[in-house]
Amino acid sequence: MSHQLTLTLHDGLDARTAAIAVADAVIAGWTGRDAAAVEKHIKELEELGVKRPATTPIFYRVSAARLTCAGEIESVGEASGGEAEFVLLQHGGRLWVGTGSDHTDREVEKYGVTVSKQMCDKPIASQFWAYDEVVPHWDRLVLRSHVVEGGERKLYQEGAVSAMMHPRDLLERHSASGGHLAEGTMMFGGTLAARGGVRATKEFAFELEDPVLGRKITHAYRVRVLPILG
């Protein structure tokens, strides 16, 4: 069963909007290129009650139906938060690049990361670039996110995608673990450290910037909090 998303695929001067069928969604975690920094972060989260991943990187599976381009999502309780990531899409025999937010329930994460990934919708921007166009200058791409706290827009994350594994290496590791980026698969590629620490976010904006070709992919969303009644 596939999930339909209306996406715009940019290939050179051509831009085509179509209903794209996504059958599988993968959230790649612990994709940092600096192994020492990854290990440090794992230990920090262990102190907060989050279990150590079985492997690094690790490839969590979530329902494709969780993917959304909407400007509002719903989440149970007030402990969920977003994190900006680059996103890979295999479609039409080609690889495409976009951006999304791996919105995650931080309380459930302490119980089980895999379960926490499935708890929340995964907002994505509707625009995608042809991978072939950006791979020559991949490490120049920049991820950025903002949150609204106390009525003020604040920078939450910012940095080059070079902090994460290159898609070529990420896909090789995915294949080695028994996976394959088949047609109709979308993969989140990892995230950056949050300024001021990871926390719940009710208003989240994120973007992927290509400073070489002078363009951005952007998206923003709000969280409608559903009450926990028992």
E-strand spans in the chain?
Answer: 3-11, 14-22, 24-29, 58-62, 67-68, 72-76, 80-81, 84-91, 94-101, 104-105, 122-123, 127-130, 142-149, 152-160, 185-188, 203-210, 215-226
pLDDT category, 35, cuts 50, 70, 90? confident
Look up residue 20 and give its two tokens: 């794209």
Which of the four pLDDT bands, split at 50, 70 and 90, describes residue 45? Answer: confident
Q: List, as one string, the DSSP characters of 142-183.
A: EEEEEEEETTEEEEEEEEEGGGB--HHHHHHHHHHTT----T
Q: How far apart are CA 29 and CA 208, in angstroms?
A: 18
Share of the chain above pLDDT 90, in %: 80
Does the structure show a pLDDT above 90 at 40? Answer: no
SS3 40: helix
Beta bridge partners of 215: 210
Question: What Cα–Cα distance (Å) separates residue 6 from each residue in 16, 68, 99, 127?
Answer: 10, 10, 15, 9
The pLDDT, as a whole number, for residue 183 is 95
Mean pLDDT of the chain: 94
Structure tokens of 81? Answer: 């938060």
Q: Which domains does the chain have, with CATH numbers?
A: 3-226 (3.90.850.10)
Residue whose tokens read 């309380």:
107
**Proportion of the chain above pLDDT 70, given as a percent:** 100
CA-wise closest residue to 92 among 187, 175, 1, 182: 182
pLDDT of 44 > 80? The answer is no
Cα separation of the two ends of the chain: 33
State yes or no: pLDDT of 41 exceeds 80. Answer: no
pLDDT at 48 over 80: no
Range in 60-69, 78-87, 106-115, 133-142 with the lowest mean pLDDT: 106-115
pLDDT (0 to 100) of residue 198: 87
Q: What is the DSSP letter of 195?
A: T
Whole-prediction pTM: 0.94
| CA separation for the pair 102, 117 (Å, rounded) | 8
pLDDT of 46 above 90: no
Residue in the structure block whose two tokens are 């996110």? 145
Confidence of residue 171 (pLDDT cuts 50, 70, 90): very high
